[in-house]
Amino acid sequence: MTANFNLRWLNVWVLSVILPMLLACAPAEDVEKFSGYAQGTTYHISYVAVPGSAVPAVKKRVEDELVRLDQQISNYRSDSAIERFNANQTTEPQAVGEEIIALIKQARVVSEASSGCYDLTIKPLFDLWGFKADKLNIPDAQHLQTALQQVGFKQLEIVDSSHISKKNPQLRVDLGSIGQGYSVGRLAGLLEQQGITSYLVEIGGELQTRGEKPGGKAWKVALEKPLPGERTLQKIITINRTEPMSVMTSGTYRHYFDANGKRYSHILDARTGSPVDHNTVSVTVFDANPTLADAWGTALLCLGGSEAMAAANQAGIAALFIEQQGDAFIEQASEPLQQLKDTVVIEK
């Protein structure tokens, strides 16, 4: 069996070419910008300068916070708080801190709303299918069932405000589907602590805006066409809102295997243990809370189709769905997103 592995990190991005053009109408000294690498991807920050907000000081605080977050929630380093919890195969309570507890609580709400399709304890299945090793492994029924027994929020207990425990000692938690949104929110909070109220914060394509650009211009971001191996513009999104707004996108085309004429997405349904098999290829969620928006993007992509639309409408989630039908991409907006048509303007 041969397989093609492709990892796509950025599906909503602040284009390095487009962003300067969007800001060109304002004096350059009024907008500060810096970028770097974090969480296995890149980050970009643009903000309207205020007294005392020189780039070196702001960047130092941002990068210190990214290092701190990495030490807490990163599943890519063995010494992080969450990976120490995963490695410790015991049912005794373990200290992970209030931050991780809060993320688990928020993710549990989204998991329940998705009927269990979305689940932070999916990590054993992710590894079983070969996504950790970047080598496709199609498990047989017995191995799949064994892995499923290690999955499920019901096996994860919150003991108190800083401790959790496993009912199954082999349980492992992956914060990747919620941690990047949380990180965006943390960086936005750092800017606001310094009096910066007009900004765009982006990590790996997940972003949050607040306020306006100089001259009263709205922030604009780009949504790419959900095609693997390409960087083609699908839409331009204008955020006509001065209060915080996050834009979080999940796509089945970002991380997948192709084998024997079939595509295996990294989005796994925790109820079946298998990659999702539907036509929804991209979901973009708009919400004031970047943490919840990040989790909901994955949850809705997991559900797909009419089930995802029904869940978004019931939970009041503003979401843009893109389905692939042959070579065509069909867009559908949830009812809450339709109600934001003057706030979130989506244009070709």
Identify the CA nearest to 38 among candidates 14, 16, 58, 9.
Answer: 9
pLDDT above 90: residue 39: no
- Beta carbons of 211 and 197 less than 8 angstroms apart: yes
pLDDT above 60: residue 1: no
Domain-by-domain residue ranges, the chain? 4-71+177-347, 82-173
DSSP 88-146: ---SS-EE--HHHHHHHHHHHHHHHHTTTSS-GGGHHHHHHTTTTTTS-----HHHHHH
pLDDT band at 229 (very low <50, low <70, confident <90, very high): low
Domain 82-173 is classified in which CATH homologous superfamily?
ApbE-like superfamily (1.10.3980.10)
> Whose structure tokens read 């349904």?
269
pLDDT band at 9 (very low <50, low <70, confident <90, very high): very low
pLDDT in tens, 206-219: 999 999 999 999 99
Least confident range from 81-95, 125-139, 278-292: namely 125-139
Q: Could you give phi then psi for residue 182, rounded to 5 degrees? A: -60, -40
Write down the mean pLDDT value for the chain: 89
Least confident range from 18-22, 92-96, 147-151, 304-308: namely 18-22
Q: Could you give phi then psi for residue 43, rounded to 5 degrees? A: -130, 150
260 three-class SS: coil
Whether 4-71+177-347 shares its CATH topology with 82-173 is answered: no
CATH annotation of 4-71+177-347: 3.10.520.10
pTM, entire model: 0.90
258 three-class SS: strand
Identify the CA nearest to 248 among candidates 237, 257, 263.
Answer: 237
Beta bridge pairs of residue 223: 12, 235
pLDDT above 70: residue 163: yes
pLDDT in tens, 262-274: 778 889 999 999 9
